[in-house]
Structure formats: structure tokens, C-alpha cells
Structure 1
């Protein structure tokens, strides 16, 4: 039996502020009661999209539904080696991973600029989710802007000989190390072919700047004489993956919070511990209670984010945390490293205070003081706010069209040097090395925690509620000093550090292994 659009099925539009990504005109166009699937139609658009000869940007689309105020993740159709029952829009391509937790939508042909994909259709196998009746069912479609990072060789470390901060190296040579597969790697020990860390020189021991009880001594557990094994299952970046184009924003985080129970939400955005910070001054504006949590700065990164908060979001969205090896691949691409380089591939750095227009608005931008010839990043030398800036702010300026002036990585990913520290799974502790790169299934436990057994911080029935094994890469806007060194692609100053605290310049960026 085929039924056309049901008026009692509520479909809520989703808006993402980073590049004005919008999901509109949602409609259930048919329900197949016998085979228990529904066809959901929508239009999807976003700005600053591209596809070139190497890679493309995309939107990760997934569906949540509820019949009783408890939200669940919808199972989208997947058929190995044949059509999945989805209908790609004109000019667009859909790729579905085998777990059916969502789809990637991206350009079919080379091009750049705003894209508007109309009449995209997704097949939801609602019977597999235990749905038998659509009455009083509420559904929402979510989208996250991502960037495709292709499979291939890349380099770790940049060969720096000064201001080294635990940089990766080939053995003890000081030279960059090339990753050529996902095979196991020997860490440290000094042998030819091993992945060294410059004997841990310049790495933080946590006690430098965080008071007890939040500080814990932490360093790599390998060095030039002590070795460890990085297992084959740990994602090394050689295999293709999708990476979030921007740091997680407060708007995206609010959308997540509003699908949780009261207890889950309390564990995900309670103010304690927030280091006694003035949240408003730092541009943290989440207020309200579920399902009416709001933010006045949806375009600003989701600061005061602990690793277990980001892990919960990743699980909920069907994504996973990023490893520190993937971080360097996402920045450097396939290019030969430049000593001391930032995410845009040079050591050039703009040190001019900008003029900020439309502060607090979704079109917040820099009207003067940015550079069209040097790398742009948001850090204490140029920070006129004492807080994080809008995600993608440099790329949004029409005068910043190149990689360097836009502060973009080789693949077109934004703010991987500066703005906020990003949590990445470390190779320097056993808890990090146990990570196998499993993806979230869209469902959290009753505490609002991620449930993946291989993710660092998993502690039995509580799920992922610890931080050991997840370090920091990319640097925050002003802490700790000197930020200009921390922002470098190869800097591992805090790669193994962990703090039991939510801090004002901490956030996260998620990834997903490519289908």
C-alpha cells in the first residue's frame, strides 16, 4: 500500500550557520507498508561548496525520530553493490555507508560556489527501527558540512630543528616520517622505520598551567629508547575519510542537546567545571532546558567542550573522533612538509588586529586588518574579542580566495591552526592506541555518554566518561603561550595531555571513515 504525504508527520527544517547550510521542503512522499520503508524528500543547499580534481566538500545527512519524546537514529537503506533506493538530486551524488547511519551528499562534477540540490530522496527502513505506526511521529533531518580527504601517502612531522614540541620524526633522524599504509607502526625505540617523537622534547606535562585536581602528569609513553606498537586497527590517515569542515559550532551542539533527555542534557552542558570563567565574555551562550535550549551565538565554536562531550556528539551523529595522525593528513595533505608550517602550508602569519563587523550575527566577519598575502588565524596577537570567532570567518571574506589568506588546509578544511584546541586521539598512551575507529550508532546511554567500547574514556556501564587517551592539537586562541608555536601542524605540545575540566578555548571536530 502506497500512501502520499502524511500531514501528521512533523518534519522540522535544519539550519547550520557555518556556510548557511539549509535543509528545507521536507516531505514524506510515500510509505510502503508491506516492505516497511518510507521515502523522504528534501532540498539541501550550502555556500562555498566545491569539487576539484582531488577532493570535494559534502554534507553528512542523518535522520532522528521520536514517538514519545525519546529521540532515535533512523536506519537508512544500504544495499552492497547496487542502488540503495535513494534518489540523487540533479548535479549531486549520494554515497551511503554500510551501517546506514546517514548519507554523504556532494557535487557530481567539478565546480565551486553555492549549491542547491532539489528533490533529494532518502529511503528510511522504518521497519528495521521497530516503527509500526506513523501517528504522532516526529522526525528531523540534520546535516553537517564535511570535506573528503582521499586515500594516499602523507607525511608526519615537518623536520623542524628548533622549537620542537614532540614532533613526529622518522626514527631519530629528525626528518619527516611517511605513512604509506594502515599497517601497524613501531613507535619510538630509535630503529630505522620507527615513528619517533624527538624524545618528547617540548611536550607538556599538564602541571605547567592547570591547577590540581584537574591536572594529571602526562607524556608520551615512548621515546628514543622505549618503544610501543601502534596497532593496524588505529586509523592512521592513509585510508580516505571525511572530516568536519569547521569546528563543532554552538548551533550544532544545541540541536544535539535538544534531542536528549533531561539527565543526558545535564551531563552534556552543565557549567561545572568551567574554570570559573565568565561564559558570556567567552561567547558561550547556551541557555534553557530541553527541548528548548538556545544559543545567541550559533555560528561560534562549541567551547567549554570536554572530550567526553564531543565523543557523545560524535556517537549521536554517526561519526567518530579524529586521530592525531589524521589531523596532520587533514592539514598537510600529500605535500612535502615545510618546517614550522601552519595549516595553510607556510610559516607566514598575519599579526594585524582586524576590525570585526556584525559581531554576534551569523554574518560576523572581518572588515579590515586581515591579510590577503599571509596566513590568517584567530589567536591572541589578532584577537580583538578575547574569545572564539565565527567558524569559517576567513574563508567568508571575498578577498581571501587562496589557501593561505583563507587559513585553509590543503583539502579546504577551516581553522585547524588557531581559534580552538581540538581533541584528537593520541598515539602516546595505551588508551589512545586501543582506538579502532568504530563509528557512532546514533544512540547514547541513559547518562548521555557515547557507548563505543574502543573509544578512549570508555569505563564500563557509564560509557565514555573519561578523557585519558584524547589529547589536543591545533591550538586555542590564547592558551597556553606561545600560541604561535602551538598552532603549527606538527606541534604535539599537548598531544597526550588530558584535563578534567571544560575550558574556554576547547572544542572538537569529528570525522568518518569514507565508505
Structure 2
């Protein structure tokens, strides 16, 4: 499959946010393009202590291509939070590996995402933190299912048989990046700064170099090898958020935190300039710009969001793979595969779901244009009949990897970043609102992820010059900054589930009856 056809299946009209479903009267809720409705408790087994939570789900512009390599598709990552009556603490729900149902409608697959995808399922020690839901057949258009259900092992979460709980369902739109080799680095003679020497990443082992060539292996030639062979070098399959975290998504996240946790993930004195619209009143967070990429995030904020959602940070090699795919590097390329970038000269329908650039040929926001003084609606440049370049889309259909807000990634360029092992967050933050995975950048014993050493930036942003947007540019790849800024955003990823033995987690549509 060529890079153009990969994107034709994912024309985006609307922005995706996180969905919230609160089981207080079983109301339906939706945000942006994806909708969950008709919720119910389909079954409750008091002896085995599980509940089947049923709902309908739909979103537009879904796609899957099984006819052409690399067999690309989009998916929804769905997870749940619960709160026992009388408490203020929202906890992550432990799901089963099986017993879920896709329901009826679009032929679909439910794929459980374990805390540790490379290990066998265990109800307590390695539960499913959520599920991926995606097409099981080649197709594109609106994805729609009725009667989907998830099996929640509430007993493992210390919820009693007769306790009242509030339950929220969240969904984030993701894109699958397939397993396989790719090339990291920049072609000689380009303008990319501190770029990797072109190296074919042809093994998942991040510590080895090919015996016959130093320019093939698990890490870029000339770099220091990571401490662990598990450092996510982009070879293995993974899922990436289709868009950066939006302001509505971050609001939904904040509204599940305790007062103390939220105080560390949001500042009441936050600068509201540059299109930042989040505020708090009586402990409830709202935003005037729900569809815009969320700026004013530091590394600790992004890590906390990823941990809370059962996801993880993206490595800088995964960033290059997600942008370029298996194609050959080209001079000065951006995430959409060539060196052509047209800045948005202004905005129409500002701040709304239909926000677009005033110049129809724009495909990015960068360079501190006085008419665009902050981040824009995520996925704004993807319109009906736009190709990959016009939409500002990566090889796999991921949007805004060049421009808008800087991508926070884990660097291979310093010792702290090389300690990363790609473990996922378990969904529950510590009392300070910090992520707690010890191998993530910025972790300190007793505090969690409370610093930023080991992180960096890729992809440029609305403020800085065009040079920062190049796929291979590493000018800020290992720069440690722990402050918030109107230029910084975040996008999380997840290692694709294992597919063998007891860790098999894919449930085909035709065999997805509840256990």
C-alpha cells in the first residue's frame, strides 16, 4: 500500500475527545465525534463478583485495510473508572481478558489491553486495563455497534456485592502502527539538527547491532544503547493517540482527581493567554476550548494523564516510526512525508468543533503567526477529499505530529531516558497526582514522576520556526524542561497486545459472546 491510500481511509471531519459516562440514572454521554449511549448493567454475578457493563458506541471516519501492508486501522481505547459511594477517589476498573462482547453492527474485534501485555493475564496482578475496539474487516466510514459490553471484575477492585458505585466509561481514538522495520534519521544535506545517522531499526531488541552492518539493529548508529532490550524502539506494534490530548480530555481527567491530585496537575494561576481555556470553579473543571490541543502541560502532567488512562509515553524512535512508517527518509520531510508546509494564515469558526484554517491549502500551524496565537483544533487540516499532505497526516493517518504543539517523547539521548522500558501506567496515580512507573523519565523514589529528566521534544509547535517540525529534527530531543508552556502538549501510546498462548487477547466478532 502506498502512503496516500493509507490516509484516504481516515478522512477526519470531527475532533475526538474523551467520553464520560456516569452511572447515575444510566444517562448517555458523548464528546465530539465518538458517542456512547444506551448504557446498562447487563449482568451481575454476585458469586463470581463481576458485572457486564453494556453500551452502544459509534464514531465517524473509522477505517481498516486488510488488503495492503501494513494493514493499518484506527481503534477506540475504552476503559472505566469507578467511585464507591461516600468517597471522592475514582479508581481504575480491572477488566477480564475475556467475557466482553462487541455486540451487533460493524464487524468488530475486542482486544483486551493488559497492564503487562507480554505476560499472562492474572485478575489481580495483570488485569486488562481497557480494551481496543476496531473493525475486523476491510472498510471505512461510520463505526457503529449496539449492545457492546465489558466484563468488570469488581471483586478484585474491593467493591462489595451491595455497595453503590459511580462508574465512568472513557474512550480515546487511537491508530495502530504495525510491527516491522523502519529507518530512523535524516538524509545527508538536509536541515534537520542533531538527527540520527540513518539506521534501519530491524529488531525489537533495543540493545543490539547487526553483525554485518552498524547501520542496522535495535538503536541508531552513534547513540548509546538503552539499558534494557525492552526500550520501545518502534519495531514492535503499538497504538498511538490519533490526536494530541485535547483540553476537554484534560478537563475530564482533572474531574476524576482528588483535590490534592488536581492541585498538582493544574495551576489556578495558569496563564490563560495563547488559547488556553481551562478553569476551575468549586472544584469542577471546564474549558472554553474543548476541541483544541491542550497546552500548558509539563512532562509530569502528560505522564500523569498517560498513567491514568492505562497508557504510556512515546519514545522518540516511536515518534519517527509513527510519522514516516516504513518509507525511505527524504530531505527535510515533515510527518506527512515531504518538505511542503503551509502555515495557517488565520482561523474560521474559532474555538468551535468546525474550526478550520482561513487559507484552504494550510496543513500545519507553526512560526508564531499573529493570526494564530496558540494551538488549534486537533486534526483541523484533515477535511473531506484531502490527501495525506493536505491533511498534515502521518503515514498511518495520525494527525498533527508536525506542528500545533510539541510532542513530549522519551529520549535515547541521555542516561535517564535510556532507563525507559515501555511499561504502562496502571490507571491509579499516587496521592500527589503523579505517575508511579519507576522506569519513566522524571521518576524519583517516594514521589513518582515529579521531574522531567529523560524526556524531550519532537515535532515543533505553533510558536517556533518551521525547522523544529521536521520528522528527524532532534534539536530539543533531550532537553530537560519541567515547566508548563503554551507550546507543549502530549500524546500517549500503548504497546499492542500479545497474540499467543494465554496472553491471546483478540476476540473475533463472530466468537465474542460473553462467558
TM-score by length of 2: 0.83
Residue aligning to 2:201: 179
Residue aligning to 2:304: 312
CA change 1:377–1:136 in 2 (3 A) is same
CA change 1:282–1:28 in 2 (3 A) is same
Residue aligning to 1:210: none
Residue aligning to 1:269: 266
Compute the displacement of 1:12 (Å).
5.5
Compute the displacement of 1:24 (Å).
1.6
Alignment of 1:110-509 (within 5 A): 110-169=138-197, 176-185=198-207, 192-193=214-215, 227-229=224-226, 231-271=228-268, 277=271, 279=272, 281-289=273-281, 291-351=283-343, 353-354=345-346, 356-366=347-357, 368-371=358-361, 376-380=363-367, 384-395=371-382, 397-400=383-386, 402-479=387-464, 483-509=465-491
Separation (CA, whole Å) in 2 of partners of 1:58 and 1:327: 19
Residue aligning to 2:99: 84
Separation (CA, whole Å) in 2 of partners of 1:449 and 1:339: 40
Compute the displacement of 1:114 (Å).
2.2
User: Is the Cα–Cα contact under 8 Å of residues 206 and 219 in structure 2 kept in the other structure?
Assistant: no
Separation (CA, whole Å) in 2 of partners of 1:510 and 1:424: 9
Separation (CA, whole Å) in 2 of partners of 1:133 and 1:383: 58
Unaligned 5+ residue runs, structure 1? 1-6, 170-175, 199-222
CA change 1:134–1:309 in 2 (3 A) is farther
CA change 1:430–1:194 in 2 (3 A) is farther
Compute the displacement of 1:246 (Å).
0.1
Compute the displacement of 1:350 (Å).
1.7
Compute the displacement of 1:14 (Å).
4.4
Unaligned 5+ residue runs, structure 2? 1-21, 115-126, 498-515
User: Is the Cα–Cα contact under 8 Å of residues 260 and 290 in structure 1 kept in the other structure?
Assistant: no
Compute the displacement of 1:399 (Å).
4.2
Compute the displacement of 1:15 (Å).
2.9
Secondary structure at the aligned position of 1:486 is classed as: helix
Separation (CA, whole Å) in 1 of partners of 2:349 and 2:265: 29
The answer to whether 1:59 aligns with 2:81 is no
Compute the displacement of 1:182 (Å).
1.4
User: Is the Cα–Cα contact under 8 Å of residues 420 and 507 in structure 1 kept in the other structure?
Assistant: yes
Which of 94, 97, 102 in structure 2 is aligned with 1:75?
Answer: 94
CA change 1:485–1:322 in 2 (3 A) is same
Separation (CA, whole Å) in 1 of partners of 2:256 and 2:140: 34
Separation (CA, whole Å) in 2 of partners of 1:85 and 1:113: 24
User: Is the Cα–Cα contact under 8 Å of residues 10 and 138 in structure 1 kept in the other structure?
Assistant: no
TM-score by length of 1: 0.83
Separation (CA, whole Å) in 1 of partners of 2:187 and 2:52: 53
Secondary structure at the aligned position of 2:479 is classed as: coil
Secondary structure at the aligned position of 2:446 is classed as: helix
User: Is the Cα–Cα contact under 8 Å of residues 391 and 415 in structure 1 kept in the other structure?
Assistant: yes
Structure ranking higher on relative contact order (CA contacts 8 Å, 6+ apart): 2
Compute the displacement of 1:10 (Å).
4.7
CA change 1:11–1:493 in 2 (3 A) is farther
Compute the displacement of 1:414 (Å).
0.3
CA change 1:10–1:136 in 2 (3 A) is farther
Secondary structure at the aligned position of 1:294 is classed as: strand
Compute the displacement of 1:186 (Å).
6.4
Q: What RMSD, in angstroms, separates the aligned Cα atoms of the two structures?
A: 2.3
User: Is the Cα–Cα contact under 8 Å of residues 28 and 39 in structure 1 kept in the other structure?
Assistant: yes
Compute the displacement of 1:308 (Å).
0.5
Compute the displacement of 1:21 (Å).
1.3
The answer to whether 1:22 aligns with 2:35 is yes
Separation (CA, whole Å) in 1 of partners of 2:469 and 2:482: 22
User: Is the Cα–Cα contact under 8 Å of residues 202 and 218 in structure 2 kept in the other structure?
Assistant: no
User: Is the Cα–Cα contact under 8 Å of residues 73 and 442 in structure 1 kept in the other structure?
Assistant: yes
Compute the displacement of 1:57 (Å).
0.5
Compute the displacement of 1:384 (Å).
2.2
User: Is the Cα–Cα contact under 8 Å of residues 26 and 40 in structure 1 kept in the other structure?
Assistant: yes
CA change 1:88–1:454 in 2 (3 A) is farther
Runs (4 or more) in structure 1 with deviation over 6 Å come to 194-198
Compute the displacement of 1:75 (Å).
0.8
Compute the displacement of 1:8 (Å).
8.0
Separation (CA, whole Å) in 1 of partners of 2:102 and 2:192: 51
